[in-house]
Amino acid sequence: MCGIVGYAGSRQAAPVLLDGLEKLEYRGYDSAGVCVHNENGLEPVKAKGRLSVLRDRLEGGSALPGSVGIGHTRWATHGAPSDRNSHPHMSWTGKIAVVHNGIIENEARLREKMLRKGATFSSETDTEVVANLIGYYYEKYGDFVLAVREAVVRLEGSFALGILCKDVPGKIVAVKKDSPLIFGFGEGENFIASDVPAILKYTQTVAYLEDGDMAVFDGDSVEFFDSTGEPTEKKREKITWEMSAAERGGYDHFMMKEIYEQPKALRDTISPRLRNGQVTLEGIDLSAEYLKGLRKIYLVACGSAYYVSVLAKYIIEKTCRIACEAMMASEFRYCDPVVGKDNLVIFVSQSGETADTLAALREAKARGAQTLAIVNVVGSAIAKAADQVIYTWAGPEIAVATTKAFTTQLSVVYLLAMQMAKTLGTMSVGEYNALISGLESLPYDVERVLSQRHLERCQYLASRYHAHHDAFYIGRNVDSGICMEGSLKLKEIAYLHSEAYPAGELKHGPISLIEDGTLVVALATIEPLFDKTMANIKEVKARGADVLCVTLEGYEEQAEKIADSIIAVPKVHPLLQPSLSIIPLQLFSYYVALYRGCDVDKPRNLAKSVTVE
Ligand code: M6R
Q: SS3 string of 300-341? A: EECHHHHHHHHHHHHHHHHHHCCCEEEEEHHHHCCCCCCCCC
Instruction: Indicate the pLDDT class of residue 522, thresholds 50, 70 and 90.
Output: very high
Ligand 1, atom nearest to 302 Cα: 6
Ligand 1, atom nearest to 405 Cα: 3
| pLDDT, tens digit, 9 for 90 and up, residues 125-182 | 999 999 999 999 999 999 999 999 999 999 999 899 999 999 999 999 999 998 889 9
| Residue 600 CB less than 6 A away from ligand 1 | no
Q: What is the mean pLDDT of residues 358-382?
A: 95
Considering only CA atoms, which of 262, 238, 259 is closest in space to residue 393?
262
H or E element that contains 436: helix 429-449
Note the pLDDT of residue 389.
97
Ligand 1, atom nearest to 351 Cα: 1
In this structure, what DSSP letter does residue 503 have? Answer: G
Determine the distance separating the centroid of ligand 1 and the alpha carbon of 325, expressed in angstroms: 19
Active-site annotation holder among 23, 313, 404, 608: 608
Note the pLDDT of residue 245.
73
Considering only CA atoms, which of 119, 132, 134, 128 is closest in space to residue 86?
128
The mean pLDDT value of the chain amounts to 94
Decide if pLDDT at 613 tops 90: no
608 labelled catalytic: yes
| pLDDT, tens digit, 9 for 90 and up, residues 48-86 | 888 999 999 999 989 999 999 999 998 888 788 888 888
**3 state SS of 223:** strand
**Are 609 and 381 in contact, with CB atoms under 8 Å apart?**
no
| Residue 610 CB less than 6 A away from ligand 1 | yes
The two most distant CA atoms of the chain are separated, in Å, by: 80
Cα separations in angstroms, 21 against 29, 32, 57, 514: 10, 8, 15, 45
| Residue 349 CB less than 6 A away from ligand 1 | yes
**Are 580 and 570 in contact, with CB atoms under 8 Å apart?**
yes
Give the span between the Cα atoms of 536 and 505, in whole angstroms.
10
| Residue 350 CB less than 6 A away from ligand 1 | yes
Decide if pLDDT at 420 tops 90: yes
Where does residue 338 fall: left (phi above 0), alpha (psi -120 to 50 degrees), or beta otherwise?
beta
**Which of 300, 311, 351, 489 to mutate to test ligand 1, by most ligand atoms within 8 A of the CB atom?**
351
Ligand 1, atom nearest to 301 Cα: 4
Decide if pLDDT at 27 tops 90: no
Note the pLDDT of residue 8.
97
Note the pLDDT of residue 83.
80
303 or 81, higher pLDDT:
303
Considering only CA atoms, which of 214, 204, 170 is closest in space to residue 184?
204
Note the pLDDT of residue 249.
80
Give the span between the Cα atoms of 90 and 164, in whole angstroms.
9
Q: What is the share, in percent, of the chain residues with pLDDT greater than 70?
A: 100
Determine the distance separating the centroid of ligand 1 and the alpha carbon of 58, expressed in angstroms: 33
CA atoms within 13 A on the CB side of 513: 17
**3 state SS of 128:** helix
Q: What share of the chain is helix, strand, coil (3-state, %, to 5)?
A: 40, 25, 35
Decide if pLDDT at 527 tops 90: yes
| Residue 304 CB less than 6 A away from ligand 1 | yes
2 labelled catalytic: yes
Instruction: Indicate the pLDDT class of residue 242, thresholds 50, 70 and 90.
Output: confident
Give the span between the Cα atoms of 221 and 216, in whole angstroms.
8
Note the pLDDT of residue 602.
85
Instruction: Indicate the pLDDT class of residue 280, thresholds 50, 70 and 90.
Output: very high
H or E element that contains 154: none
**pTM, full prediction:** 0.84
- Output phi, psi for 240, to 5 deg: -90, -20
| Residue 305 CB less than 6 A away from ligand 1 | yes
Nearest CA to ligand 1 atom 11: 303
**3 state SS of 532:** helix
**CB within 8 A of 448, min separation 6: which ones?**
570
Instruction: Indicate the pLDDT class of residue 12, thresholds 50, 70 and 90.
Output: very high
Note the pLDDT of residue 78.
79
- Output phi, psi for 254, to 5 deg: -60, -35
| Residue 357 CB less than 6 A away from ligand 1 | yes
Determine the distance separating the centroid of ligand 1 and the alpha carbon of 227, expressed in angstroms: 30
Ligand 1, atom nearest to 357 Cα: 4
Note the pLDDT of residue 141.
96
- Beta-bridged to residue 217, according to DSSP, are 172, 222
Active-site annotation holder among 2, 165, 320, 483: 2
Nearest CA to ligand 1 atom 12: 303
**CB within 8 A of 430, min separation 6: which ones?**
none
Ligand 1, atom nearest to 382 Cα: 4
Determine the distance separating the centroid of ligand 1 and the alpha carbon of 348, expressed in angstroms: 10
Note the pLDDT of residue 481.
97
**CB within 8 A of 577, min separation 6: which ones?**
478, 525, 526, 552, 569, 571
Considering only CA atoms, which of 444, 585, 456, 601 is closest in space to residue 522?
585
Q: What is the mean pLDDT of residues 366-390?
A: 95
Decide if pLDDT at 28 tops 80: no
Q: What is the mean pLDDT of residues 388-403?
A: 95
| Residue 376 CB less than 6 A away from ligand 1 | no
